[in-house]
Every structure is written in C-alpha cells, then in structure tokens.
Structure 1
Amino acid sequence: MEMTYDEMDSRIRSLEPYEQKLKDKICCPDYSGFEKVDYSDKGIKSQVYVMNYLNSPTFDTPGLLKTVYLEKKKRHLFMNKNARFATVEPHVHDWVELGYMYSGSCTQTVGGKEILLKQGQIIILDSGIPHAIGYTDEGDILINMLMEKEFFTYSFFSRLAKMGVITEFLMNAISEQTSHDSFIVFNSEDNRRIQLFMKELICEFLSPTGMEHEIVNNLIALLFSELVNVYEKGKEEKHAGHGKTYVVPIMRYIEENFTHCSLKGTAEKFGLNANYMTTLLKNTTGYTFKELVTGHRLQFAAGMLLNTELACDKIIAASGCGNSTYFYKKFRERYGCLPKDYRKKGKTEN
C-alpha cells in the first residue's frame, strides 16, 4: 500500500533513538571521524569539518530515509532528516545540498551569512561552501537531500536547459574550475506544488514503490521547474561570488540545433573562440561540445527507435550524425547494446 501523508508525517516527527539520546542529554554529536581543515574566505580564517555522509562509520546520521541509486551507474541521491536537539558544526562536503524546512524553522550559517529558514522554504547549497545549522527543537524538522556531482549528467541539464538560474547554479556547483561560494534561498512557503513535490519525494524514500527510480527522477525535475517559477516571481534571494556564465544559452542552442550545429558555427554565434568555448563547456558542465551534441543525438535516436519503424540508417542521418561507425560505438557505450537490439528490447518490454 502507498504511504499516506499522515503516515509520512507521523514517521518524520517521531524521535529517532539518537535524537532521544540528544534530547535526554545522554550524548552529543561525534565529529571525531571527520578531518578538520583550515578554510579562508575574504581574509577570514576558520576551521571546518570535511564530511562524507555515506562512508563515515563514526557519525550517526539519524533519520536516514534511504539511499536511492538513479539509473544503473550508482548516481547517488541521498536524503536524511537533520538530528534535532543539537547543532551541526561548520562543515563542507562534495555534494550539492537541498534543504527543505518541513516544519518549524532553523538558523543556518552559510558562507558566513546567517539565514533563518522557515517552514516550507528551500535552500540549495553549492558543493564546497561551509555551512552550519543552529539548534533545532522537536518541532523543527529539516530534510536534507544530497546529490553527487555525477547525478547532474548532460541529460539532466537538457531537461533544465531553459531554467537559467538553476542550471547556472548547478553547473557551477559541479565545476572544478569555479569558486564555490553560492547558495539560493527560495521563499517557497506559499507554493502548493513545492510542498506537494517534497512530500511525494519523502514518501518515495520512506516507502519506495516498484518504480521509485523513475518517480524520483521526474519529481526532482518537477521540483526544479517549480523552483524556477518561484525564482522568476522575484521571491528568491541569491548569493554568488562570481558573474553569470555564458553556458546556459549555449546549451539551449545545442539542444535546439543538435542535428546540424557545429563547433565553429556555434562559437561564432556567441562571439567566442571555438577552443575557448569548448574548454568553457568542459570546465563548467564536465562535457565537451562534441559530447553534448552526441548525447542529444543519441537521445533523439533512442526515441526514434522506440517510437517509429524508420530504418536505423535513416535515424542516424536524421539525428545529424554523419559517421555511422562513430554512432554505433557511442550508442553501445551509452545503452549497452546495438540500436536494433535496443528497439527489440523496447518492444518486448512494452
């Protein structure tokens, strides 16, 4: 049976054994398993813990909901409930973090700035930005969703290509070449859809259905889409230490013109040097121009294989890929089989 919202609420509000110990002052958070490093921001030096939520045997993470593996390559999406009756010391981690204030409120210190996160609001934190959480009482329930950089594939960005600020923020978060000093607070407390999508995500983690991978992927896409609506209505507060990137419009252009766009032509359209543009794309998204174009062509071809009876050579031509040998190689790398087998498998499953 599907979990109801009342069942989910009861489960979320119940005290974990670790939280009960914190409430009774029997124990306190143990950070001994984490490395403490020096951090400097604008000349101000401090020390922060480097956290790894999945691999640390010493840090008790109460309210662990579930670890879901998206697709078949273990692209982790991790969700947990923040431990109440304690503070969380300043720390960093290599994950993009989304915090949802399910109930009550809490104070967070992010990059030296203090923020009050209220019920229904969302904060998205850049990977590598120091942050701490103030004391939370029994009614203050913060749900954290942590996403590995590998989660943000070119196909994920394709779905967000028209969501400028979100795409821009996430591409910066996964880049090794940019500073990591950003966060966005969304005043989403009055947005019905945000609350709905978050409740559905929590239910799916607590009581997964047989299609949890697809459901979670689609819910996250819907969540980010609605966050863009919140942003565009001017209700957001964005903090960033760097200028806007040109990558979002380039990615949008590739998405709309992948069948015929070239590196030289695309670079000229945006007034950029071709080598500089492909380096910019690689440093920001993790993919070169050619890889992004090929990804869209493969995605297009896969859809055509499942939804039409066109011959494979015609689909390859329609995708814009002139080299069939290269196409077959890349298709097999991505889907694990040849196009004809992919089509056959799709018909069998349907």
Structure 2
Amino acid sequence: MNIRVLRLLKNVTSLELEQKKTHHFCEDMPSKAINSKLSTEVDTRVLNNFFFRNRDIYISKHNRFADYPMHTHTFLEMNYMLQGTATEIVEGEKIVLHSGDLLLLDVGSKHAIQALDEEDILINILFREQTISVNLLSDLRRNNSVLYDFLISHAVGKKAIHADFLLFPKKRGSEIKETIEHIIDEYFLKRDFSNSVIKSYLSILLTQLVREYPLEKNDQISKSQKLATEILKIISQKFRTITLKKVAKQYNYNENYLSNLFKEEVGKTFSEILTQERLIQAHSMITNTIIPITAIMERVGISNKTFFYNKYKEFYHSTPGEDRK
C-alpha cells in the first residue's frame, strides 16, 4: 500500500481528536447527506446519495474513539478492516472484524459501530447499484452464488432472498487485500482517471470474492434463467442498437412471449433494462470525458433529449450538467 496514503489514514483528524477527548460521537456528515424525514420516521439516521456527485464510488476512513450511532443508507457499503479490529451491530447481530476481513452491507441494513482505538483502521467503501454492470452479473451468474443474488436484486430489480450482509473473512494468500489496497490508493492519491480505474477494480474485487469464497451450487439453472442472462449480456454489449424485436428474432421467440419471460426472470421490462444500461454508459462518458452531452446521447442510442434528461435525473438523482462539473 502507498506509504503516503497509509500515513494519511493513520493521522488523527480534528474530529477524531475531539472524540478522543470526550468519547462522544461528533457529527461527521453534512446535513445534505442525511435524509431528515426518513431519519425521524425510523429513529435511525438515513444517509442518502449525496456522496456520489461526480463519482461512482465514495471511500472514507471511519472516525475513531467514539461509538458510531445506528444508521442505514440508500446505497451498498463495504467495510474493510485495514488493520486492527472493529465490532459492528448489524440488524441486531454482533460482528467482529479483524484485519483483512470484509463486510458487505445491503441497502437499508441498520448497523452501528463501536468505538475504534488509535491502531484500528476501518475503511468504508460506498457504491450504488448503478455501478454494477449486467455484463459482470452475467459472469457471476455462472457461479450461481449468493453474492450474485445479493447484487442482482439491486442492479436489475430481481427479487432475491438474501441476508442484510455478507461477511468475507480474511484468507491467507488472498488477492483481495491487494485489490482493495489498489482501490484505496487510487481514491486518496486522486490521480487522473481514478474514477474509471476504481470502477474496474471494484468489478475485479467482486469477481475475486466469488472465486475465493465458493458456495454450494443451488438448483440447476432453468432454461428461462439462462436465456434472461444471455439477453442481459447482449444488452450490455449492443445497447446502442439492440431492440426486443431483434432479440426475439435471434432466439426465434414470439416478441410478446419473450418480453413476458424476461420480465418474469429479471423483474423489469426489456425496455427498462436497456434504458438503464444506456444511462450507465452515458454517465461514464459524462464524468470521464469532455464529449458533448448531445453526442453522448447519440453514442448510447437515445435521441429524445427530454426523455434522456428525465430518465437520467430519475436514475442518478442529478442532472448530466451537475455530474460534469
């Protein structure tokens, strides 16, 4: 790991210094990051998508020396124990993290973190379901894993039964540690194209988690599940020009029948998933290039400007112009 980044993470911040003196939690979030209405309703702080303006992944060091109160969020979160130990309470269950352990928290899972000591470094990695590509999911599907079910419920709306968290204990000789440290270095060194590099590393990390933590195979994949997964991959590869009619012709299916089958398996219509993939591709170009937004629309296969802006705002909770700043 980069020595400058490690030194930065070990430094005691002014907020941590205050918590060290009082042993009481000091607010570390701007008011815009907290959904005050939902927080009042559930008596738990609800963190929103404030963190993702102009970035796809947000990383921070967890503040030490005071208990962190119960909270939840509208995004996915990884807690990685860089060094030391941490005790978390997730949906009433006590979890102790040791150096090298990784905890993946679901959207909406309630959790609190007990006070960390000075030698404890806990890294928070936040990302939204929009960051997960259907191409990656189709690869993970081959492993028929719990992690796939966990992620696909957010990425494409499929209703899956899974826990509120997944715990990945440290393994000797694992590549995961190196990948996470690359992600942390890229984020804090703020080098050119770091957002794109971090997204690529996240895909690698998720794939490594499936490979290094194999689970028992579920029931045999049905024909309709296999077909839906193949269509998801086609959408991710040919999003600019693909249509339901072309796919139905390719597989020699009635268009209405295929549409119903796809929605039954995925949870969203073909059109909804296609628009989602186009928005993800557009977002990547908006945040990583200077290509005019009208040209980006053409590149992803959307011609209606009003439709594009409305769907983009609905999906990312920001406008293309805001994300480009």
TM-score range, shorter chain: 0.5 to 0.7
Which residue does the alignment assign to 2:12?
15
Which residue does the alignment assign to 2:248?
262
Q: Determine the C-alpha separation between the residues in 2 that align with 1:246 and 1:123.
A: 33
Q: Which runs of 5+ in 2 are unaligned?
A: 236-241, 281-296, 309-325
Q: Determine the C-alpha separation between the residues in 2 that align with 1:89 and 1:298.
A: 35
Which residue does the alignment assign to 1:185?
167
Is contact 2:15–2:26 with CA below 8 Å preserved after alignment?
no
Q: For 1:219-239, what per-residue CA distance to the aligned partner results, in whole angstroms no more than 9, with x for missing partners?
A: 1111111111122178xxxxx
Q: For 1:29-69, what per-residue CA distance to the aligned partner results, in whole angstroms no more than 9, with x for missing partners?
A: 3499752333xxxxxxxx42222373xxxxxxxxxxxx676
SS of residue matched to 2:107: coil
Q: How does 1:93-242 map to 2 (within 5 A)?
A: 93-152=73-132, 156-164=133-141, 165=145, 166-173=147-154, 175=157, 181-232=163-214
The code of the aligned residue for 1:48 comes to: T
Q: Determine the C-alpha separation between the residues in 2 that align with 1:80 and 1:151.
A: 18
Which residue does the alignment assign to 1:323?
none
Name which structure has the greater RCO, CA cutoff 8 Å, separation 6+.
2
Q: How does 1:24-103 map to 2 (within 5 A)?
A: 24-25=21-22, 28-30=25-27, 34=36, 35-38=39-42, 47-52=43-48, 54=50, 74=54, 76-103=56-83
- Seen in structure 2, the aligned counterparts of structure 1 residues 50 and 273 have a Cα distance that, compared at 3 Å, is same
Q: CA deviation at 1:103?
A: 0.7
SS of residue matched to 1:139: coil
Q: Determine the C-alpha separation between the residues in 2 that align with 1:27 and 1:220.
A: 34
SS of residue matched to 2:119: coil
- Seen in structure 2, the aligned counterparts of structure 1 residues 279 and 255 have a Cα distance that, compared at 3 Å, is closer
The answer to which of 183-192 and 138-147 deviates more is 183-192
Q: Determine the C-alpha separation between the residues in 2 that align with 1:247 and 1:282.
A: 13
Q: TM-score, normalised by structure 1?
A: 0.62
Which residue does the alignment assign to 1:62?
none
- Identical aligned pairs, as a percentage? 22
Q: CA deviation at 1:170?
A: 1.5
Structure whose residues are more often helix by fraction = 2
Is contact 2:158–2:267 with CA below 8 Å preserved after alignment?
no
Is contact 1:129–1:181 with CA below 8 Å preserved after alignment?
no
Q: CA deviation at 1:148?
A: 2.5
Q: Count residues with an aligned counterpart.
A: 263
Q: For 1:202-231, what per-residue CA distance to the aligned partner results, in whole angstroms no more than 9, with x for missing partners?
A: 111111211212211211111111111122
Q: TM-score, normalised by structure 2?
A: 0.66
Structure whose residues are more often strand by fraction = 1
Is contact 2:138–2:233 with CA below 8 Å preserved after alignment?
no
Is contact 1:76–1:148 with CA below 8 Å preserved after alignment?
yes
The answer to which of 165-174 and 210-219 deviates more is 165-174
Is contact 2:137–2:152 with CA below 8 Å preserved after alignment?
no
- Seen in structure 2, the aligned counterparts of structure 1 residues 250 and 77 have a Cα distance that, compared at 3 Å, is farther
Q: CA deviation at 1:27?
A: 5.3
Q: Determine the C-alpha separation between the residues in 1 that align with 2:120 and 2:252.
A: 49
Which residue does the alignment assign to 1:278?
263
Q: CA deviation at 1:332?
A: 4.7
Q: For 1:88-127, what per-residue CA distance to the aligned partner results, in whole angstroms no more than 9, with x for missing partners?
A: 1111110111111111111111122111111111111110
The code of the aligned residue for 1:161 comes to: S
